[in-house]
Amino acid sequence: MIGKTITSRKILLLAPLLLFLGLAYVVPFLGVVRWSFTMPEVGLGQYRALMTDPLVQSVFIRTLRICLIVTAAVLVTAYAIAYVWVRGSSVQRMLAEFCILVPFWISVLTRAFGWLAMLSNRGLINTWLQSAGVISEPLALARNELGVIIGMTHFLIPFAVFPIASAMRSIDERVLLAARGMGASRTRIFWTVFVPLTYGGLIGAALIVFVFALGFFVTPAILGGGRSVMVAELVYLRIFQSPDWGLGAAISVVLVLFIGALLALMRRFIKPAHLIG
């Protein structure tokens, strides 16, 4: 009886939040779903277009390719930063915290334009390299996929550091001492003991980064220069510039369902693995 009372109180406390989320997210999304089936004509025409339109298919393939590359780059960089943050000296930990926290204070728009100033043909990097005589012509570092990947990787690194660092902190030091007592070298301990014990954090960070990357809009729009359109930008173009609201709504629905499937996968498999680690 007491347990039921406590549960009912929790539901009452959560009711305003659930109502707000429903009105703010679920109801508008249902409207987008309706558009995907009714505009410009009632039916599945927009979803058939997703399967047959070469432009839409190329954008989806480009988005997946960029997201996979960004995820791999973020994991490698974040793992190194997290390792220093968890196991480094006090000065190293302080520097790592600075590198992790400061980006949160800078907006994504500011960071995107900052990278554009660094990577453009007349940016700092090309200017320095040409002044030093290293190159004669500016390198194509922006207005392409490379610039998008660099900007997205920089933005997403802090989000991957936290789950990886959490997994590292959960490692029992006695396991590492036992491996060292058995004569294993530091390199072997790192690759055969330390890294496998952080797999839960790595997979969780990979899913977080990949899901975030799928919905990126500002960074690809600025650093891609319209030449590396991703799914979120394609939705914007279809809704506000074409206008083709039905196809834009269908793309949005597919993207949301795909992200929902990834989140369900993370909830089902990643969280238990992380707790075990």
pLDDT at 102: 85
User: Tell me, what's the pLDDT at 151?
Assistant: 92
Structure confidence at residue 166 (pLDDT): 92
Return the number of other C-beta atoms located less than 10 Å from residue 127's C-beta: 14
Nearest to residue 199, comparing CAs of 263, 272, 97, 99? Answer: 272
Walk along the chain (277 residues) in steps of 10 and give the mean pLDDT of each run.
61 78 81 84 82 87 94 95 90 89 86 90 88 86 90 93 92 87 86 90 90 89 86 86 82 88 73 43
CB 50 within 8 A of CB 56: yes
- Looking at residue 79, its amino acid is Y
Please, is 269 exposed, middle or buried when counting C-beta atoms within 10 Å of its C-beta (0-12, 13-18, 19+)?
middle
CA atoms of 265 and 257, how far apart (whole Å): 12
Residue carrying the six token digits 């058995």: 182
Residue-range domains of the chain with CATH: 1-38 (no CATH), 52-276 (1.10.3720.10)
| Inter-residue contact 223 to 150 (CB < 8 Å) | yes
CA 121 distance to own-chain centroid: 27
What pLDDT score was predicted for residue 51?
83
Residue showing tokens 């399967």: 51
Quick one: pLDDT at residue 6?
59
pTM of the model: 0.85
